[in-house]
Structure 1
Amino acid sequence: MGAAGGHQGRKHIQELENLLLDTPFEGSNLTAQTSWPLIQSLAFKLNCAFPGLMLSSGALGPLPEVRRLRARPPHSMQFPAELTQEACQAPIRELRLICIYFYTSFFFKDDPNTVLLNDYVLGAQLGHYHVSNLRKPINISFWHNRSLENYTLTCVFWKEGAGRDGWSSEGCRTEQASPGQVQCHCNHLSYFAVLMQLSSARLTAEQLASLTHISLVGCSVSIVASLLTILLHVHTRKQSDSMTRIHVNLHGSVLLLNATFLLSPVLAAPSAPESACTGLAAILHYALLSCLTWMAIEGFNLYLLLLRVYNIYIRRYLLKLCAVGWGVPAVLVLLVLVVKSSVYGRHVIPLSTSQDNSTGFQNISICWVRSAKVHGVLVMGYCGLTSLFNLVVLACALRALRRLRAREKAPGRRACRDAITVLGLTVLLGTTWALAFFSFGVFLLPQLFLFTILNSFYGFFLFLWFCWQRCHGGEQAEEGPETEASSSSQMMH
């Protein structure tokens, strides 16, 4: 449906809302007949002694348009007594609660690839009042008879904005009470649905709990290690060269990445405002791109040291590297925010089982990129290019080291030190991030645990490499171009 069709559909919905809110009727409730197919609506008269209300699809008459279906999955909505509390603070003649059930998503088109569970949209409105921030949520239940093996389910509501309308999960919590039932707990009135998103990687609750604990410990350790490295650099910055300053910028990006990653689940909680989660998701994306960019800069710098040792002069070298390392990711993220800020927000990490939470571990939501296209291009694509470039540089470094050792009379006497050098360069160039491309088939679980362990402790491994360089700087200076410190004096600021 085009934009014009979408606006026309919203106009019809507003007409129906006004009809239900303004039409006088006798008794306590009214069932309205509409000229639009696949829509049912109800209106209720309420007072300030409202005890709560439970509505079930069993109380609704059948629609001729859905009789052809073998079994129409039921649904229900439960409203708390608190619903009328704010409205009753002002003098009122009558409160009216209207409920509209859409058995089609025709009137609510967001992304062309958006899929809703059962194609159901359930809406409610209390008079002309805006009901939000309820202490006890409105409970909406959707039953289904579908296999959702490869889907992530998220409770959403229709949010009308100044720029464009779309589905949002703000103020809603998703719970899969049973394999055939999805419960939405939302703290406001609106039009609700369950968004279905294809997911390639699904974990059990136990596996997700283990990965979460590893990430928590690893990121915390890396934050401390990066802070120590930066402080050591500040303490000895008079003796530092451009090489060390590049390392410190990499540590700064790793510090930002780990800090925002740890904050992400906190601001993705239902109680946190969606704008805060959107902002943090953009910062997290920026931190990741910066980290990957500085890894590529480390590879570029190592390439210069290995292959152009005797002919290096780059005016304002470090300043230009900082413009690339911090500026390019900022431009990319700002461009995404300008084009479509809804790309960033709450992202639910799916579980493979429904959720037999015998471990007490709930689904995790994080503030992250929600668009598959942006994730594919500006996360996986960016990571892939960085990893490919640094793997080529690492291969060149290993080749140079092998040629140097082949010329020595006793090539085996420095095997241990060479092994540490290779391992350090492997860490420095971030080649472990290439593991992200092995998340399929039998590699999925080993890859997830290896990726989580190696990259959450990445800052700590960099710290160990930094310390080893400091302790063996004098010896490395005599080794030749394959070690970084040997050529640092060649770089011009």
Structure 2
Amino acid sequence: MDTKRSLFFCLYLLAAQSISVETSPNLLNLMKYLEQPIGRSLFSRVSPRHIHHLEQMLFNASFCGHNLTLQTNSIQSLIFKLDCDFSGLSLSSATLANVPQAWAPHAMQFPAELTKGACVTSRPAELRLICIYFFRAHLFQDDNNSSLLNNYVLGAQLDHRPVNNLQKPINVSFWHNQSLEGYTVTCVFWKEGASEHSWGAWSPEGCHTEQPSPSQVLCRCNHLTYFAVLMQLSGDPVPAELQVPLEYISLVGCSISIVASLLTMLLYAHSRKQSNSITRIHMNLHGSVLLLNVSFLLSSQMALPTVPKSVCMVLAATLHYALLSCLTWMAIEGCNLYLLLGRVYNVYIHRYLLKLCVLGWGFPALLVLLLLVIKSSVYGPCVISFSSSQDNGTGFQNVSMCWVRSRIVHSVLVMGYGGLTSLFNLVVLAWALWILCRLQTQEKALRPWAYRDTIMVLGLTVLLGTTWTLAFFSFSVFLLPQLFLFTIFNSLYGFFLFLWFCSHRCYLDAEAKAEMEAVSSSQMTH
């Protein structure tokens, strides 16, 4: 009687596609522990070990039939028995049993190639495919506290075997209840051991992102692991067709600026005896621009997977330091211009240049070192997405560079710092133009002043770095023109400074020549 009852019970559960086994209480208890928030569960603090334990228990579970489904409030575990004649498998939340309506739709599609690697050397009688769906992402928090679409993490493993480099990808679909326009979405997988402070980090390697519809994200990945979709607020998407032209403009412009900055510093070294504090400030600005261009050109090359992560982190910190230093020296140029034109002419401050160097080079170094001490993971490989038109929708092409990975740091110490510097220099530029206009109205002959004033205005605009304000117009119809103007002007910034230096030297030489001619003529008269 007991045997018949057990057989009936097993057949009943098989029909319901949710099988109870001897290990299921332990599995359910572990799943319930894992779904608790950080701080309330001991297991959630050591999530790698317990997630691996959950995987092991699923692989070893014994049950009737070909599949098993276990679920709690925010975790769902699926087990499938496969063989070498596997022809593919499609899973969808619409067809899975007992899926709460509150869960957003999701799906996974496995190709027939999935079991090919396991069946090459031998033909095992049974292969197990486990799928673990986490509908809360607290166990997969990276150092950047990245935002995930729906907070969903969908994972799959095959019989303790690594599955990589599939010819036909695994398709993982995520749906959202609203349109994803205005967001940059990137398909990623959890790379265990890729972070110093967390048990892993999100990586886009081996995954391609597509958007068949405004509310759906399709991830095509060539390996098995835990998948999710990173979400970032963005302006209008940048077409992938512009990626190559922008990279070419940046490469050419930065290379020209590097040569121009080196040439300027050589000319300055040649005529160093004739220099003053103003020229020395210009040279410090050239030095920061030179460092910025060199580190920028290297940043994309050092973000490759073959390069050690520590190298990319150091280069990202150097690039951030160079940018902060460049912005600081632009602000120093504006402050120096204000002192020269407004407050005290021929101003003297004890060790003026030394104090400016401490500010221009030391203050950015202090900020970067402080970040490295507090949380060095803010620097490293950073993914930039370009939208690309596909036959079935819109996808994304990812470009990596060594840069600031934290959105908070980027907002405060890049956009905020740059915004304050640009605002200050714009005010100084407007004030300097007002001074020039007032002086011009006091002159009787206006025409001789016109050409010189035009050159002066252009020179001050370059010197104060006001073209960096274009970064704040990356929205709506301004996006594409802003991208090209910003890339052209700021990649050639060192070259423009070189032209300013040459014109300034020519002006000083002309004044010196005029003074010498005046002195010689007066001597001849006497």
Aligning the two structures, in what range does the TM-score lie when normalised by the shorter sequence? Answer: 0.7 to 0.9
TM-score normalised by length of structure 1: 0.79
| Cα distance per residue 1:85-138 (max 9 Å; x no partner) | 9xx9xxxx9998663321513453527974433544233457778x69x66689
| Cα distance per residue 1:359-399 (max 9 Å; x no partner) | x9944333333333222211111111111221222233223
1:453 matched to 2:488: yes
Between 380-389 and 271-280, report the one with greater CA deviation: 271-280
Does the CA contact (< 8 Å) of 2:236 and 2:476 recur in 1?
A: no
How far apart in 1 are the matches of 2:81 and 2:256?
57
| Cα distance per residue 1:317-361 (max 9 Å; x no partner) | 222222211221122122223333333344443445544699x99
How far apart in 1 are the matches of 2:85 and 2:335?
68
How far apart in 1 are the matches of 2:222 and 2:266?
46
Query: How many aligned positions are there?
Result: 465
Does the CA contact (< 8 Å) of 2:212 and 2:392 recur in 1?
A: no
Q: Which amino acid aligns with 2:91?
A: S
- Alpha-carbon RMSD: 4.1
Does the CA contact (< 8 Å) of 2:92 and 2:106 recur in 1?
A: no
Gaps of 5+ in 1: 480-493
Go from structure 1 to structure 2 and tell me whether the alpha carbon gap of 1:211 and 1:35 turns closer, same or farther (over 3 Å shift): closer
How far apart in 2 are the matches of 1:331 and 1:375?
16
Write the mapping of 1:7-156 to structure 2, written as runs, cut at 5 A.
8-9=43-44, 10=47, 12-22=50-60, 31=68, 33=70, 38-42=75-79, 55-57=89-91, 62-66=96-100, 68=101, 72-77=105-110, 99-110=130-141, 114-117=146-149, 119-124=151-156, 139-146=169-176, 147-156=179-188
How far apart in 1 are the matches of 2:134 and 2:461?
55
How far apart in 1 are the matches of 2:306 and 2:471?
31
The answer for the alignment partner of 1:486 in structure 2 is: none
How far apart in 1 are the matches of 2:157 and 2:110?
12
The answer for the alignment partner of 2:9 in structure 1 is: none
1:157 matched to 2:196: no
How far apart in 2 are the matches of 1:95 and 1:248?
71
Between 73-82 and 245-254, report the one with greater CA deviation: 73-82
Does the CA contact (< 8 Å) of 2:69 and 2:76 recur in 1?
A: no
Q: Which amino acid aligns with 2:153?
A: V
Q: CA deviation at 1:193?
A: 1.5
Does the CA contact (< 8 Å) of 1:137 and 1:186 recur in 2?
A: yes
Does the CA contact (< 8 Å) of 2:93 and 2:105 recur in 1?
A: no
Between 34-43 and 408-417, report the one with greater CA deviation: 34-43
- Which secondary structure state, in structure 2, belongs to the residue aligned with residue 64 of structure 1? coil
- Which secondary structure state, in structure 2, belongs to the residue aligned with residue 17 of structure 1? helix
How far apart in 1 are the matches of 2:137 and 2:93?
24
Q: Which amino acid aligns with 1:101?
A: I
Does the CA contact (< 8 Å) of 1:149 and 1:352 recur in 2?
A: no
Write the mapping of 1:426-445 to structure 2, written as runs, cut at 5 A.
426-445=461-480
How far apart in 1 are the matches of 2:269 and 2:478?
42
The answer for the alignment partner of 1:231 in structure 2 is: 266
Go from structure 1 to structure 2 and tell me whether the alpha carbon gap of 1:284 and 1:184 turns closer, same or farther (over 3 Å shift): farther
How far apart in 1 are the matches of 2:392 and 2:495?
33
1:197 matched to 2:228: no
| Cα distance per residue 1:300-321 (max 9 Å; x no partner) | 2222222322441322x22222
- Which secondary structure state, in structure 2, belongs to the residue aligned with residue 65 of structure 1? coil
Q: CA deviation at 1:200?
A: 1.9
Write the mapping of 1:453-492 to structure 2, written as runs, cut at 5 A.
453-475=488-510
1:339 matched to 2:374: yes
TM-score normalised by length of structure 2: 0.74
Q: CA deviation at 1:272?
A: 4.6
Q: CA deviation at 1:252?
A: 1.7
The answer for the alignment partner of 2:519 in structure 1 is: none
Q: Which amino acid aligns with 2:498?
A: F
Go from structure 1 to structure 2 and tell me whether the alpha carbon gap of 1:97 and 1:84 turns closer, same or farther (over 3 Å shift): same
The answer for the alignment partner of 1:372 in structure 2 is: 407
How far apart in 1 are the matches of 2:281 and 2:183?
42
| Cα distance per residue 1:22-73 (max 9 Å; x no partner) | 557899x874646675412337799xxx99995542699724134x379833
Does the CA contact (< 8 Å) of 1:170 and 1:270 recur in 2?
A: no
Does the CA contact (< 8 Å) of 1:80 and 1:137 recur in 2?
A: no
Does the CA contact (< 8 Å) of 2:388 and 2:397 recur in 1?
A: no
Go from structure 1 to structure 2 and tell me whether the alpha carbon gap of 1:81 and 1:470 turns closer, same or farther (over 3 Å shift): farther
Does the CA contact (< 8 Å) of 1:6 and 1:109 recur in 2?
A: no
- Which secondary structure state, in structure 2, belongs to the residue aligned with residue 417 of structure 1? helix
| Cα distance per residue 1:401-442 (max 9 Å; x no partner) | 334444444233132112111210110000111222222333
- Which secondary structure state, in structure 2, belongs to the residue aligned with residue 108 of structure 1? helix
- Which secondary structure state, in structure 2, belongs to the residue aligned with residue 143 of structure 1? strand
Structure with more contact order per residue of length (Cα contacts < 8 Å, sep ≥ 6)? 1
1:4 matched to 2:39: yes
- Which secondary structure state, in structure 2, belongs to the residue aligned with residue 227 of structure 1? helix
Write the mapping of 1:157-306 to structure 2, written as runs, cut at 5 A.
157-158=189-190, 159=192, 161-165=195-199, 167-169=201-203, 171-176=205-210, 178-179=212-213, 180=216, 182-185=218-221, 190-269=225-304, 272-306=307-341
Q: Which amino acid aligns with 1:378?
A: L
Go from structure 1 to structure 2 and tell me whether the alpha carbon gap of 1:386 and 1:125 turns closer, same or farther (over 3 Å shift): same
Go from structure 1 to structure 2 and tell me whether the alpha carbon gap of 1:314 and 1:391 turns closer, same or farther (over 3 Å shift): farther
